[in-house]
Amino acid sequence: MIDCSEIERIVKDPNRESLTIEFKKSDVIKSKDGQKKLIEHIVSLANRIGGKILIGINDDGTYEGKNIFDVDKDKGILNNIINDNIRPSLMCDIEFIQCNDGDVMIIFIPKMKEIPHAYVKKTKNGEIISREYYIRTPHGKRFISDRQLQYLFRYEELDFLFPFKFTLKLYNDLLRVDFDSDFDFVIEDLSILRNYDFFFRDLETKNINKIKKYGITETIAEIFPFIIISILSKYFGRSWALKLIENERFTSNLSAPKEEFTQLDIPNPIENSILNQLSINFRDYFKEILLFHEFYIPPDMKISVDKSLLSFQHSDFLFKFAIQLIQTSSGGGPEGNISITLDCFYEVKFNFPETNFELFDDYYRFALSIKEIIKRDMDHDSFLEKKSFKIIESMNKKLDRLLTS
């Protein structure tokens, strides 16, 4: 599972003891006090993201030496104290490695699955009389507070990945977006398509020619994060802390702390991008043509763009909006249309909250509200599902009018 070169890389890392790595001397196995501290560290790592404990390594990253373990006996001790003192039970692998500079025994600790692990104390009859919960932090292990424990029991798995896709039909000569007109009644198209149409429609011919020269699909990918910002700006104009309620409506928590995201905060396209080659003032064009509105975000959240990748970065979470695959096909016909399908994803990852417990529910609802906005305004499959429902609803209304006339 691990070799000496990997151990060498770990011990030479300036940040060698981290959220996932702990060093211990071999005497930790032999004393009751050492075993207790070892269990506390194992529990703390399991309750965060898992990790490794390297026994036989000093705090400064040097090896303790050779022949410091009675391998079978020490493995047995470790297995016994893990099995006897941790609840729910935790399955840890233990590996012994002989390196040139010293011997190392490694405990591989998995991340908790459903509920947090505790260091348990028992009576002589095996009855559990107390449970101690620990969590790993950048500064080592510590007792879990009541609020942190509530978090661990309440949120089994917050992270999620939501795939979505949409298709642009462009007239290749003008770069105009073609919308569906298959039905004799109006149904609102995806906002993301309309935003692309707005962007291309107001470009001067010289800029259209530059896009054709440098790459249409590449330009579409570069516009993607800015269009997402524009769409989200419609929803978060009063607060970022939204909650979905009945009838697909949102309610805002206006008391949540917030920072305003303005036109001046819009990231500029990177230097070597196609967008940077166009003869436009990008921020002005973005605000006027893509109908950007000032909106609110959580305090200390940073919005960044790297080509087609949009990131919302915060100490407690990371949201990413990215394009996974672009497929292009010819639409034929005298106009020379092309169809461009973008397979995208919205990825949400949460960090264990060190401080902002009061806001954590709002952060999670923030993530879910963005997912709902994507389903409404950016995802073709969700749109078709809604569109089909509206078609049936409209047909039923027409049928009712015919039957009652």
Average pLDDT over every residue of 57-64 = 94
Element (H, E) at 249: strand 249-252
Identify the residue whose tokens are 């006339």: 405
Q: Comparing 188 with 337, which gets the higher pLDDT?
A: 337
- Based on the fold, state whether residues 263 and 208 are members of the same structural domain: yes
In a domain, 402, yes or no: no
In a domain, 37, yes or no: yes
Q: What is the pLDDT of residue 45?
A: 95
Average pLDDT over every residue of 306-319 = 94
- Residue 396's pLDDT band, with cuts at 50, 70 and 90, is low
Query: Closest Cα partner for 352 from 320, 317, 319?
Result: 317
Q: Is the predicted pLDDT of residue 164 greater than 90, yes or no?
A: yes
Separation between Cα atoms, residue 176 and residue 174, nearest integer Å: 5
132 to each of 29, 44, 126, 142, 365, how far by Cα in Å? 20, 10, 16, 10, 30
Q: Comparing 272 with 398, which gets the higher pLDDT?
A: 272
- Residue 185's pLDDT band, with cuts at 50, 70 and 90, is very low
Q: What is the pLDDT of residue 16?
A: 80
- Output the pTM of the full model: 0.73
Query: Closest Cα partner for 139 from 314, 17, 47?
Result: 17
- The amino acid occupying position 44 is S
Q: Is the predicted pLDDT of residue 87 greater than 50, yes or no?
A: yes
Q: What is the pLDDT of residue 182?
A: 39
- Residue 318's pLDDT band, with cuts at 50, 70 and 90, is very high
Q: In what order do the strands lie in the sheet with 118-122?
A: 86-87, 118-122, 128-132
- Based on the fold, state whether residues 148 and 167 are members of the same structural domain: no
Asked which of 107, 128, 153 is the last residue of a domain, the reply is 153
- Based on the fold, state whether residues 297 and 258 are members of the same structural domain: yes
Q: What is the pLDDT of residue 138?
A: 76
Number of domains forming the structure of the chain? 2
Q: Comparing 180 with 277, which gets the higher pLDDT?
A: 277
Q: Is the predicted pLDDT of residue 25 greater than 50, yes or no?
A: yes
Lowest average pLDDT, out of 145-154, 171-180, 273-282, 324-333, goes to 171-180
Asked which of 99, 132, 153 is the last residue of a domain, the reply is 153
Most confident of 79-93, 157-171, 184-198, 276-290: 79-93
Q: What is the pLDDT of residue 152?
A: 78
- Based on the fold, state whether residues 201 and 278 are members of the same structural domain: yes
- Portion of the chain with pLDDT greater than 70, in percent: 87
- Based on the fold, state whether residues 40 and 114 are members of the same structural domain: yes
Q: Is the predicted pLDDT of residue 52 greater than 70, yes or no?
A: yes
Q: For strand 259-261 and strand 295-297, is the pairing parallel, antiparallel, or unpaired?
A: antiparallel
- Based on the fold, state whether residues 145 and 171 are members of the same structural domain: no
Separation between Cα atoms, residue 10 and residue 163, nearest integer Å: 35
Most confident of 11-15, 113-117, 143-147, 264-268: 264-268
CATH number at residue 140: 3.30.950.30
Instruction: Check: CB of residue 55 under 8 Å from CB of residue 37.
Output: no
Segments forming the whole domain that contains residue 145: 4-153
- Residue 339's pLDDT band, with cuts at 50, 70 and 90, is confident
- Based on the fold, state whether residues 185 and 75 are members of the same structural domain: no
- Based on the fold, state whether residues 149 and 183 are members of the same structural domain: no
In a domain, 405, yes or no: no
- Based on the fold, state whether residues 103 and 167 are members of the same structural domain: no
In a domain, 53, yes or no: yes
- Based on the fold, state whether residues 164 and 143 are members of the same structural domain: no
Identify the residue whose tokens are 């459903």: 114
Average pLDDT, the chain: 87
Asked which of 153, 184, 203 is the last residue of a domain, the reply is 153
Q: For strand 242-245 and strand 309-314, is the pairing parallel, antiparallel, or unpaired?
A: unpaired
H-assigned helices in 86-190? 146-154
Average pLDDT over every residue of 10-17 = 86
DSSP string for residues in 299-362:
TT-EEEEETTEEEEEETTEEEEEEEEEEEEEEEETTTTEEEEEEEEEEEEEEPPPSS-HHHHHH
Q: Is the predicted pLDDT of residue 146 greater than 50, yes or no?
A: yes
Q: At what angle do helices 357-377 and 216-235 cross, to 10 degrees?
A: 120
Q: What is the pLDDT of residue 78?
A: 97
- Based on the fold, state whether residues 182 and 322 are members of the same structural domain: yes
In a domain, 404, yes or no: no
Within a 10 A sphere around the Cβ of 113, how many other Cβ atoms? 11
Q: Is the predicted pLDDT of residue 127 greater than 80, yes or no?
A: yes
Q: Comparing 246 with 198, which gets the higher pLDDT?
A: 198
In a domain, 266, yes or no: yes
In a domain, 70, yes or no: yes
Q: What is the pLDDT of residue 137?
A: 81
Specify which residues 164 forms β-bridges with.
344
- Residue 227's pLDDT band, with cuts at 50, 70 and 90, is very high
In a domain, 101, yes or no: yes
- Based on the fold, state whether residues 142 and 168 are members of the same structural domain: no
Separation between Cα atoms, residue 301 and residue 370, nearest integer Å: 15
- Residue 332's pLDDT band, with cuts at 50, 70 and 90, is low
Task: Look up residue 122 and give its two tokens.
Answer: 């028992």
